[in-house]
Amino acid sequence: MSVGDEMKLVFRLGRLGFALGVNDLVEIREDFLGFLDPSSEKTSPLQLGSLPHRGDNIPVYDLKELFGLTGSGAGQALLVVTAASEPWAVVADRIEGIFPGSEFESQPLSLVLSSGMTRPYDTLDIWRGEPLVLCETGKLQTCWEWE
């Protein structure tokens, strides 16, 4: 297990908790639904549409679909992240907040679960007694390109 220095955003999809390093986070928007264009050209089946962002159109991806989560409810917040130079966005159901890296203890997903399978995550962050899925933008980027 390791404790990092980087502050992390904690968000939820349904009741599941996720963590994202703020170094990869560009912006959090709550007013995005009216701006999301679902009819735009999609480069991945996981793409919900595109969104104007700082003079450009960026793809918005469906994290719930990627993680096999069903359940209704439009997301309440849009997280704009950047991997390499191209920003993209995902939708979260709820934002818990941004917390110091010292509150998180990272550990690899148990080999019992990871042996023989590949998933869009392989690390958990233990935060306040709760295991969170650590979202690594490079790994997610690979998933968008996979599809």
Partner 1 sequence: MIPKIALFSFCQRLYALPVEVVLHILSSPRVFPLPLLPSGVEGVFLFKGEAIPLADPFLEGGRPAGEQGEGFVVVCGTENGLLGLKAEQVLQIVDREQGSLEKIDVLEDIRWADLRFVHRDREYPVLNLENLVASLPDNIIKDPETRSVPAGSRRLG
To the nearest whole angstrom, how small is the minimum distance from the Cβ of residue 19 to partner 1? 13
Sign of the dihedral defined by the CA atoms of residues 128, 19, 65, 94, in that order: positive
Cα-based torsion angle of the residue sequence 69, 71, 77, 79 in order, rounded to the nearest 10 degrees: 20
To the nearest whole angstrom, how small is the minimum distance from the Cβ of residue 82 to partner 1? 21
To the nearest whole angstrom, how small is the minimum distance from the Cβ of residue 38 to partner 1? 18
d(CA 10, CA 79): 11
Nearer to partner 1 among residue 32 and residue 127 (C-beta): 127
Q: Are strands 86-92 and 104-108 parallel, antiparallel or unpaired?
A: unpaired
Nearer to partner 1 among residue 70 and residue 85 (C-beta): 70
- What is the Cα Rg of the chain in Å? 15
Nearer to partner 1 among residue 33 and residue 113 (C-beta): 113
Nearer to partner 1 among residue 22 and residue 105 (C-beta): 105
d(CA 129, CA 87): 32
Give contact residues for partner 1 (rule: CB under 8 A). Answer: 1, 13, 15-16, 45-46, 65-70, 105, 107, 109-113, 115-121, 124, 126, 129-131, 133, 143, 147
To the nearest whole angstrom, how small is the minimum distance from the Cβ of residue 31 to partner 1? 27
CB-CB contact of 142 with 135 (8 Å): no
